[in-house]
Amino acid sequence: MDEPIVRAVKLRKYFLATKHGILETLFRRKPLYVHAVDDVDLEIRRGEILALVGESGSGKTTIGRILATLEKPTGGELYFEGERVTPSNVKQVRKRIQMVFQNPMESLDPRMSVRQVVEEPLRALGLSGDERRRRVEDALTAVGLEPSIFNYRRPRDLSGGQRQRVAVARAIVSNPKFIVLDEPTSALDASVQAQVLNLLVELHRAYGFTYLFITHNISVARYIADRVAVMYAGKIVESGDVRSVMSEPRHPYSQALLKSVPTVERRGLEPPTGEVPSLIAPPSGCRFHPRCPYVMDVCRREEPALLGADGVSVACWLYGAKRVESDA
């Protein structure tokens, strides 16, 4: 499980801030860009579940779409199974990757039957009709949907939980090497969320899939993941074994996220204070420094590197004491 199946090196994704386009044209200003993902290094090991957590707008979904090869990065390098992903091989790489989206009603074609939806990834593999039918039946059975009942139903005829099971069946039917799960339970009722989470865990155990599980829900990440990466304003600020990060978070942002989750011992919620920074003009230095209770001068001036110790990596000047002392 130590071999990385996915590796991102200095990954960047900038989007043109189109709402400023008219003014930029009139006054001939430089275009403005949203720094959705900025110099991110990330490894996902074969057979593991890595949870990517953070507030809305932190860049989690953008990373997921890049790793699923649905978005082209602005810069950096992406490797899949040791091979660098390039325009010449991206279509072949994409055949080994699937993605489950947040809202199944938006990701399932309403004109298709359940069988057609699930079968869709198999058409690119050139399989015979009999083989495709067998695989569709196996996938539907694996997610708890009886093929004889659901084959010819439409997405509108299904409950939210059933639609997401269809989306999961579509993702696993081609036996992919890597699956990106983008908030796959957030649009579901609490009881249905638990059912889908348990299903994903069962499929992982049965088939050994590698997951990137994107979520803003710390409790869900704690339940499902082997490792966790905490994202803030386009940057990874902490990563490591889920138990280590959840029990003793080191980065102040990770600590704030954990304090916002109720526990038996702590029922009062303490969400992170302050506002999420603009990704068009992100703060200098550490991007969390305007909200950080431990901010120092160096935090405003210089961006901390993501450094590892004891299986946990953290980007924070609180753990760069020697550098801070040398600047004093």
| Residue 307 is assigned to a structural domain of this protein | yes
| pLDDT at site 152 | 95
The range of the structural domain enclosing residue 282 comes to 4-96+177-327
Residue 25 belongs to a domain with what CATH number?
3.40.50.300
Contacts of 34 (CB under 8 A, 6+ apart): 14, 15, 16, 17, 279, 280
pLDDT number for residue 39: 94
> What is residue 104's predicted lDDT score, i.e. its pLDDT?
84
* pLDDT the model gives residue 63: 97
Mean pLDDT, each 10-residue run in order, the chain (328 residues): 86 82 55 91 96 93 97 97 96 95 89 95 88 96 96 94 96 97 89 93 96 94 96 96 94 91 59 80 94 95 90 91 42
HSE value, Cβ hemisphere, 13 Å, CA-based, for 249: 17
Q: What confidence score (pLDDT) does residue 328 get?
A: 38
Residue 243, domain member (yes or no)? yes
Query: What are phi and psi for residue 31, nearest 5 degrees?
Result: -65, 150
Provide the whole-model pTM.
0.91
Residue 186 lies in a domain: yes
Q: How many domains does the chain have?
A: 1
